Structure 1
Amino acid sequence: MDPATASPSMMARSFAKILRLRRASTISGHEGMESSKDDRTHKLKFSKSLEGYSSVLSEPHCGSKGKEEEQQQQKLSNDREIMESLLANLFARISSIKAAYAQLQFAQSPYDPDSIQSADQAVVSELRNLSELKHYYINNQFDIHTLIDSKAPLEAQVQEQRNLLKTYKITTRKLESDLDFKDSKILSLQAELLELDNQNKSLKAMLQPGRCSLSSLDDLHLSGLNPNHLLVVLRYAVKSIRSFVKLMVQEMESARWDLDAAAGVIHPDVVLWKPEHRIFAFESYICQKMFSDFHHRDFNLSLLKDCANWNQQQFFDEFVKLKSSKTRQVLDGKVAAASGLWNFCRAKYLSLVHQTMEVAFFGSLNYRSLVSSGRGFPDSEFFLVFAEMARRVWLLHCLFFSFGTEMEASIFQVRRGCWLSEAYMENVVVADDGAGVRPAVGFTVVPGFKLGKVVIQSKVYPLLGEPNGRS
């Protein structure tokens, strides 16, 4: 239809229709908004708190953020667990190396090749494991627990404590071994010191023969015997012999004996240099009697036949037992009766003290009868000094046979007229009568001894005339 020909009524109807349509649209939009508002309000009524309301308002955004935080925390927790496992295994393996190295050191002394090889292999193995641990950590630290044969942290800590305990035990054993070694070293040095002290005492006794004693032989052992010990006991015995000779000479003088004649009977072919030299003749007589058959284990006496079968150890034990005994014990027979000394005293007294001498000294043979019967010794100074002399000679005899056959021990005396040799003899009158003394032997005063290559000089009295032979 042409707009120019349209009537006004038709235009009015069209405009009215447009208004109605717009109004209807407006009303419909208001109703939809109210409906949506009612729904929203209805939903809010189910939220009992602000927390529920907040979740409703921010649900899409806050859900993704919380998941990221949870993943990050989980990652940190895994890293912490991995690091704890790494450190625990690291310290466990270091402690294993320490324990293996301690075992390696301990096996060095005393040397144990098997233990050394085992400990060395353990050290190498643990070092290899430690190197692998370092390699995996540098290259892939986050997957380290899957790449190595590692223990759980708690198990690794337990293993570390076990390794430390093993190290402490090995160290303790090492210290105990060192302590035992030092103790043995101390004992060895103490024994060496004791031996040196004894040798010093022996040398002192040689330099000061007038102060002879057996204190230097305390704690003496059979394995430590040497010729110096025999020299000490010899000087100890000779001193006692001289004491008895002096007492015997006093008894002779009291009995009004002719001392020159008595000395002449002992060595009739020897002219003494001075009257006072008679003492050497009497000493020679006593030594001849006391040392007679000295080289026989039983002194060639029937009363001592049991001693003929004694060995080296038995003689040494006898020496140790009687070394510190008192003379009164010898007289009582409590010690000597069980050792052979008692019978030695009896036999030597009967051999040395002649019947004529005893009657002259004591007026009867009662003392001799008492000794011969075996009931004991007379209680007098004379017998007390004799018993002490016999004890010392018996000690020398026991020590002499303590050296054994391997030492080739022997006793010797020098024949009259032999040349005087300084290697085997000592001149008893050199000290006061050295001028004009001829180098020849008149008689032996004290016999000498030879132990292997060591010679203990005999004491000899020189002749006035020319020598008749050589030693």
Structure 2
Amino acid sequence: MTRKVSNFSDLIQRVTASCLLHPLADTRYDSSGDKDENLLYESEPNKDVDEDGEADKDSEDEEEDEIDDCDEGKMASLKALGEKKKLKQMESLLEEVFEAVSAMKRSYVSLQEAHCPWDPEKMRVADVAVVAQLRKLGVLRERFRRRRGVDENGRRREVRRRATGSLREVVAPYEAVVNDLIKEVKAKDLEVHSLKEKLDNVVTLSSNGGGKKVGRSQSKRKLGISQIQAVAATPSPELFETAMLQVRESSKSFTSLLLSLMHNAHWDITAAVRSIEAATASATEESYNPSAITIATSIVSAHHAKYALESYISRKFFQGFDHETFYMDGSLSSLLNPDQFKRDCFTQYHDMKSMDPTELLGILPSCHFGKFCSQKYLAIVHPKMEESLFGNLEQHQQVSTGSHPRSQFYNEFLGVAKAVWLLHLLAFSLNPAPSQFEASRGAEFHSQYMESVVRFSGGRVPAGQIVGFPVSPGFKLGNGSVVKARVYLIARA
């Protein structure tokens, strides 16, 4: 094997001999360092060695499987413990969230209750409690977000950004409330300005009888208005007097509209007024005074027919004014719990005074105010009157079924109804309540309790005047002041 290879056939012989002599040799290179051609074939393995090798391999595989199974069991156990811990933490967080929400609801209810009646100290405490609960909710939200696994590198920036966002979200509801309050204040200012203008016009018209003594009266009325604005947060006699002026103005407006519709329908106004007054006189105190009917059918001229019509409308509206619900039901809340009932009445007054009655009845047509409107409309506008004025009974049918028409005539009627309803709420919120009175027919004129609807020359009522018929009632207030009853005067002769 040490001789050199002389030719290719000699190389083949040497390789063949080497394979026959060393079939299990580990080395696969010959002495010359050339690669053995037996790499192209696989030698048959030794069975004994293979069996031992396979046994060792199987045992090693089993040990590795046992270790893997043990590691997987530990990992699964650790994972289950981690999930259980996370679940407990999440449950604990949710409990804290629910408790914070419940506490915030209770604080918010206290904040609402502090608005009416107005209690500054209670409102301050409730406001602090609401803010505290909102901040607690913000902290809980941050805890929840951190547990969701934020990237470590951007966590500080994320926490800072979220803290800023949470602060904005906490402040945002209060900013919205402040904006709403600012809008409400502006709306109230506009309403006050409008009412002051209307009242100034009323004062000018009522005081400017002959163009004299206007300044003194106007100065007194304007001083009263400033006092009313100062005490408007609580029921007061001055506020009641202002509400009564609104009733008179709205009643005059509705009477003018009704009178113009009668003219357009070619009514005999004098005959209509005499019929109204005769029926009214026979149904009231004149049932035992026959001469009063004669007075009612003869004293009203065509020029003053509006006063008789206004008297009829006012009498219908103020019928049942002394009862807390105008006798629409048998409620006795004013007797069972008078203090609470007074507070509720003034709250309703504040809530309703700036509302459009048409919109209110569109939302709540069957509320107490809606029932009051339906009852008074059916009492004032007779079906024959409506059919004569409008040619149909459409509005009467709608009111009878509990609906409220969207017509100009009914809107004017709602203006009077709202004014009387607000006056009624104020009357039952005052302590003591106003005492209503009405001048009787044929009574002597008393300037302390009566006011003539007809202006006389010189601005003074001449002697010998008596009450022809009452136009609107008067009230005695708890502070000693008097809202004068309006009357139509005639000469005694």
The code of the aligned residue for 1:346 comes to S
CA–CA distance in structure 1, aligned partners of residues 464 and 443 of structure 2: 11
CA deviation string 1:311-359 (max 9, x = no partner): 101110110011100133134144x655x21111111111111111111
Distance apart, 1:434 and its partner CA: 5.9
Do residues 359 (structure 1) and 382 (structure 2) align?
no
- Equivalenced residue count is 263
CA deviation string 1:101-124 (max 9, x = no partner): xxxxxxxxxxxxxxxxxxxxxxxx
Query: Aligned residue for 1:265?
Result: 275
The code of the aligned residue for 2:412 comes to V
CA–CA distance in structure 2, aligned partners of residues 306 and 372 of structure 1: 27
The code of the aligned residue for 1:446 comes to S
Q: How does 1:377-388 map to 2 (within 5 A)?
A: 377-388=404-415
CA–CA distance in structure 2, aligned partners of residues 437 and 253 of structure 1: 35
The code of the aligned residue for 2:344 comes to Q
CA–CA distance in structure 2, aligned partners of residues 219 and 435 of structure 1: 35
Distance apart, 1:267 and its partner CA: 2.5
One of 469, 472, 476 as aligned partner of 1:450: 476
CA–CA distance in structure 2, aligned partners of residues 443 and 394 of structure 1: 24
The code of the aligned residue for 2:419 comes to R
Query: Aligned residue for 2:67?
Result: none
Distance apart, 1:262 and its partner CA: 1.2
One of 264, 267, 270 as aligned partner of 1:254: 264
The code of the aligned residue for 2:341 comes to N
Indicate if the aligned counterparts of 2:435 and 2:477 stay in contact, CA closer than 8 A.
yes
Q: How does 1:287-326 map to 2 (within 5 A)?
A: 287-302=314-329, 305=331, 311-326=341-356
CA–CA distance in structure 1, aligned partners of residues 333 and 417 of structure 2: 16
Indicate if the aligned counterparts of 1:437 and 1:462 stay in contact, CA closer than 8 A.
no
Distance apart, 1:254 and its partner CA: 1.6
CA–CA distance in structure 2, aligned partners of residues 291 and 430 of structure 1: 25
Query: Aligned residue for 1:232?
Result: 242
Indicate if the aligned counterparts of 2:427 and 2:433 stay in contact, CA closer than 8 A.
no
Query: Aligned residue for 2:180?
Result: none
CA–CA distance in structure 2, aligned partners of residues 342 and 280 of structure 1: 27
Aligned partner of residue 243 in structure 2, secondary structure? helix
One of 438, 460, 465 as aligned partner of 2:487: 460
CA deviation string 1:137-178 (max 9, x = no partner): xxxxxxxxxxxxxxxxxxxxxxxxxxxxxxxxxxxxxxxxxx
Query: Aligned residue for 1:429?
Result: 454
Indicate if the aligned counterparts of 1:319 and 1:395 stay in contact, CA closer than 8 A.
yes
CA deviation string 1:430-458 (max 9, x = no partner): 34596766321111111101112221110
Query: Aligned residue for 1:73?
Result: none
Indicate if the aligned counterparts of 1:370 and 1:377 stay in contact, CA closer than 8 A.
yes
Query: Aligned residue for 2:466?
Result: 440
Query: Aligned residue for 2:151?
Result: none
Q: How does 1:196-207 map to 2 (within 5 A)?
A: 207=203
Larger Rg computed on CA atoms:
1
Rate the CA distance shift 1:403–1:205 in 2: closer, same or farther, 3 A. Answer: farther
CA–CA distance in structure 2, aligned partners of residues 218 and 333 of structure 1: 30
Q: How does 1:63-82 map to 2 (within 5 A)?
A: none
The code of the aligned residue for 1:327 comes to P
Of stretches 202-211 and 436-445 in structure 1, the one that deviates more from structure 2 is: 202-211
Indicate if the aligned counterparts of 1:331 and 1:384 stay in contact, CA closer than 8 A.
no
Query: Aligned residue for 2:167?
Result: none
RMSD: 3.5
CA–CA distance in structure 2, aligned partners of residues 264 and 326 of structure 1: 35
CA–CA distance in structure 2, aligned partners of residues 307 and 343 of structure 1: 18
Query: Aligned residue for 1:101?
Result: none
Aligned partner of residue 324 in structure 2, secondary structure? coil
Rate the CA distance shift 1:313–1:337 in 2: closer, same or farther, 3 A. Answer: farther
CA deviation string 1:397-456 (max 9, x = no partner): 10111103xx24211101111111011101121345967663211111111011122211
Indicate if the aligned counterparts of 1:273 and 1:464 stay in contact, CA closer than 8 A.
no
Aligned partner of residue 426 in structure 1, secondary structure? strand
Do residues 413 (structure 1) and 438 (structure 2) align?
yes
Query: Aligned residue for 1:350?
Result: 378
CA–CA distance in structure 2, aligned partners of residues 219 and 325 of structure 1: 22
| 4+ long deviations beyond 4 Å | 200-206, 208-222, 304-310, 432-437
CA–CA distance in structure 1, aligned partners of residues 351 and 236 of structure 2: 19
Normalised to the residue count of structure 1, the TM-score between the two structures is: 0.50
The code of the aligned residue for 2:476 comes to K
CA–CA distance in structure 1, aligned partners of residues 261 and 310 of structure 2: 15
Query: Aligned residue for 1:244?
Result: 254
The code of the aligned residue for 1:411 comes to Q
Query: Aligned residue for 2:307?
Result: 280
User: Percent identity at matched positions?
Assistant: 30
Aligned partner of residue 463 in structure 1, secondary structure? strand
The code of the aligned residue for 1:456 comes to V
Aligned partner of residue 430 in structure 1, secondary structure? coil
Normalised to the residue count of structure 2, the TM-score between the two structures is: 0.48
One of 393, 398, 402 as aligned partner of 1:370: 398
The code of the aligned residue for 2:355 comes to S
Indicate if the aligned counterparts of 1:298 and 1:306 stay in contact, CA closer than 8 A.
no
Indicate if the aligned counterparts of 1:330 and 1:387 stay in contact, CA closer than 8 A.
no
Aligned partner of residue 441 in structure 1, secondary structure? strand
Distance apart, 1:230 and its partner CA: 0.8
The code of the aligned residue for 2:263 comes to E
Unaligned 5+ segments in structure 1 are 1-193, 467-471
Rate the CA distance shift 1:294–1:201 in 2: closer, same or farther, 3 A. Answer: same
Aligned partner of residue 297 in structure 1, secondary structure? coil
The code of the aligned residue for 2:306 comes to I
